[in-house]
Amino acid sequence: MRKFANVLKYLLGIHISALVVFTIIRVILFTSAHDMLGTGVAPDSEWNNVLIAFIKGLWFDNVIACYIAIVPVAMYVIAIILNLSVRPLVRISNIWFSILYSVAFLISAANIPYFKYFFTPINSSIFEWFEYGSTTLAMAVGEVSYLGYILLFILLSIIYTVVVVLLGKGLVHSIKRSDEHRSLPEFILVTFLCIIVSYSCFIGMRGRFGYNPIKVSQAYFCRNPFLNQLGLNPVHYLLYSYIDMSRSENRYISLTDSDEAAKYLEDYMSGKAVDEQPVSDTITADSLFSGSLAQNRGKNLVFVIMESMSANFMERFGGTNRVTPFLDSLWNESLSFPNFYSAGVHTNHALFSSLYSYPALMRRNLMKGSVIPTYEYGLPQKMLKAGYTTAFFMTHESQYDNMNGFFRTNGYEEIYAEENYPASEVVNGFGVPDAFLFDYALPVLNSYAAQDKPFFATILTISNHPPYIIPEWFTPQNSEDEYAIVEYADHCLENFFNRAKQEPWFDNTVFVFMGDHGKIVGNSATELPESYNHVPFMIYYPGIEKREVSTFAGQMDVAPTLLDIMGIESANSKFGIDLAKSYRDKIFYTSDNAIAVRDRSRLYIYLPSGEQDILYSDGAMGIESVATMDSTFAELKRFGLNMIQAAEDSMREKREIGNE
């Protein structure tokens, strides 16, 4: 036991000393860059939020400290269990800790000037500077203001190394013999304690219990971008961003010439490539509501994004299982878009595209990077700046798909997630069911309505996603789970909507219902099942004009359209159009490995991996394969590939710059 206790004291001493150094560096960052604290809203600058940022910083620091400690811990645990001498290990572990922590302190010290210059933690972009080694070195040592941080790194590394050596000497002196006699109970106890220490180190590396380890998103907790980033450990952030950069799905997409794509996008968005809008499809905010645009600005907005809700489930689009009676009834009472398509085939595609007006880039998750750009012209940001309270409700944990960090950076004041709900209500890995989500959200919306300003709430459902959980109290008409769960999801929507009708704020609220993506419904005649991207999109308001608008539309058009309807300026959308003022004669969307473009009579599919063109037309017998690419198909291809290429280049530039 004496050996175990002395080794534990040595390891904890090194561990705690490292956390102290990380905290000192964070204090220096905070004090030297405290003027950046004013970039948030005043309440977020209070000292309790500063304390939270430092606590989160300690949490992330502990992750890196446990990663560094795992090898020495393993060595000492094996030696203690086998009752071997630990003296030879002291020199090895001292060198290990001194070198790795010196590197960690170097990165943390370098993070201070980097953060003050870019307003983001040091990340994988620095590896691009290695190509210009002499220039980079000259910049680092030639800038006078950097010398203080170089000296800080040297001083802290020397002090820490001295502490490590002293702790190592203390460990050697505390162990009189290389071994000690143990009884069987002592052996069992020591082994058990060693397992506890090893497990604690492992959990420390993950940063949390649960399915997923800690992610960058966990640091974000308020609206102040400085405090959100203050809690990040620079070493963790650098490694995480490098791994993110190295993922295959994040590799550069090269479909066509970038200059040509940029010119095509400019022409298209200026109206040169858009057909004249039919008079029957012309809609304006004035025609949708009674009163002026100024009056429309005071309306609330509730945006419900429905998991896996294909339009093909609805009777309006040929569904025969009667699984969406509520959506079908609401369709006829709303401004509805029958030719609406999801940007991609994953929820993150729908969230990013509909809220921030960008297309999906096949399998890439544009919210998940460690470097989080700001989208000043996104729907949440514009609503927030217009004086709205903004909130996002989800069923699962908030760091899933980096949602917490991304949304808090980009316009949402409040995030409600699994962490906010009773553990007893969690039914599977995706958190709580739709019924509980709506039950939770409604009182929160009531509290927002009682305030002096309007609210914008986004509610993301989940139940229509495997594993399907149908509660015992709900009796579906369909026996197949894949249809029964849609009935349940539709029922939850109806119950929420009817309960909202009883609230005084209902008559002053615009409701939007949209599928995030679909799922396979029936048989597919093409490589990309249309049911996976064809989703419902409807806008409801008691005084709204009830009709269908036949223009092609996509999720990237949602933000500019809703902002116009709400009477809020929606300038600077690079890819989305305002469906109240513009008209699409064709639309493009993606799956993980393909790009699809369709107009009224043709479907073009492109597979980038093999540079393969697949052509279909709507014939008398339905979708038919076509062998020859005529000029119309060539234009569909040009449209889709140029749009995706322009989006790729725009997003690449945006991640390098960090904001708009």
Give per-residue pLDDT as tens, 469-486: 999 999 999 999 999 999
Domains contained in the chain, number: 2
Least confident range of 53-62, 172-181, 316-325: 172-181
338 and 234 in one domain?
Answer: no
Residues in the chain: 660
504 and 392 in one domain?
Answer: yes
pLDDT band with cut points at 50, 70 and 90 for residue 293 = very low
Residue 163 placed within a domain: yes
Which position has the higher pLDDT, 562 or 40?
A: 562
Residue 281 placed within a domain: no
% the chain with pLDDT above 90: 63
What residue numbers bound the domain in which 59 lies? 2-246
- Residue 218: phi, psi to the nearest 5? -65, -20
Determine the 3-state secondary structure of 651 from DSSP. helix
228 and 79 in one domain?
Answer: yes
Q: Where are the beta strands (DSSP E) in 500-590?
A: 509-515, 537-540, 547-548, 553-554, 587-590
Highest mean pLDDT among 285-289, 372-376, 451-455, 520-524: 451-455
pLDDT band with cut points at 50, 70 and 90 for residue 448 = very high
Residue 58 placed within a domain: yes
Residue 396 placed within a domain: yes
Q: Where are the beta strands (DSSP E) in 502-621?
A: 509-515, 537-540, 547-548, 553-554, 587-590, 595-598, 602-607, 612-619
Mean pLDDT of the chain: 88
363 and 226 in one domain?
Answer: no
pLDDT band with cut points at 50, 70 and 90 for residue 572 = low
CATH number at residue 504: 3.40.720.10
Give the type of residue at 110.
Answer: A
Report the pLDDT value the prediction gives residue 138, as an integer from 0 to 100: 55
Of 391, 398, 491, nearest in space to 444 by CA: 391
Least confident range of 45-54, 169-178, 332-341, 508-517: 169-178
Report the pLDDT value the prediction gives residue 627, as an integer from 0 to 100: 83
Report the pLDDT value the prediction gives residue 330, as an integer from 0 to 100: 97
174 and 34 in one domain?
Answer: yes
Report the pLDDT value the prediction gives residue 574, as an integer from 0 to 100: 83
- Which of 584, 606, 636 terminates a domain? The answer is 584
Residue 78 has pLDDT above 70, yes or no: yes
Helix (H) or strand (E) holding 87, with range, is: helix 87-118
Cα dihedral value 484, 489, 492, 494, nearest 10: -100
341 and 222 in one domain?
Answer: no
CA separation, residue 183 to residues 3, 4, 6, 190, 192 (Å):
14, 15, 19, 11, 14
Q: State how beta strands 389-393 and 414-416 pair.
A: parallel
Report the pLDDT value the prediction gives residue 36, as an integer from 0 to 100: 75
pLDDT digits (tens, 9 = 90+) for 236-262: 989 988 887 677 667 788 999 999 999
Report the pLDDT value the prediction gives residue 272, as an integer from 0 to 100: 46
Which position has the higher pLDDT, 642 or 127?
A: 642
207 and 313 in one domain?
Answer: no
Residue 45 has pLDDT above 70, yes or no: no
Report the pLDDT value the prediction gives residue 44, as an integer from 0 to 100: 47
436 and 329 in one domain?
Answer: yes
State the average pLDDT over residues 91-106.
Answer: 96
229 and 371 in one domain?
Answer: no
Report the pLDDT value the prediction gives residue 273, as an integer from 0 to 100: 45
pLDDT band with cut points at 50, 70 and 90 for residue 178 = very low
182 and 327 in one domain?
Answer: no
pLDDT digits (tens, 9 = 90+) for 107-137: 999 999 988 877 878 887 677 555 545 555 5
pLDDT band with cut points at 50, 70 and 90 for residue 291 = very low
Give the type of residue at 440.
Answer: Y
Distance CA 527, CA 56 (A): 46
- Residue 420 CA neighbour count, 13 Å, CB half: 17
| DSSP track, 161-222 | HHHHHHHHHHHHHH--SS-----HHHHHHHHHHHHHHHHHHHHHHHTSSSSSPP-GGGG--S
Residue 428 has pLDDT above 60, yes or no: yes
Report the pLDDT value the prediction gives residue 444, as an integer from 0 to 100: 98
pLDDT band with cut points at 50, 70 and 90 for residue 297 = low
201 and 66 in one domain?
Answer: yes
Which position has the higher pLDDT, 318 or 132?
A: 318
- 605 forms beta bridges with 596, 614
pLDDT band with cut points at 50, 70 and 90 for residue 99 = very high
Residue 609 placed within a domain: no
Report the pLDDT value the prediction gives residue 28, as an integer from 0 to 100: 95
pLDDT band with cut points at 50, 70 and 90 for residue 385 = very high
Residue 624 placed within a domain: no
Distance CA 521, CA 533 (A): 11
292 contacts: CB under 8 Å, gap ≥ 6 = 286
CA separation, residue 328 to residues 293, 338, 656 (Å):
29, 12, 44
Residue 283 placed within a domain: no
360 and 460 in one domain?
Answer: yes
pLDDT digits (tens, 9 = 90+) for 259-286: 999 999 998 888 744 555 565 565 554 4
Residue 231 placed within a domain: yes
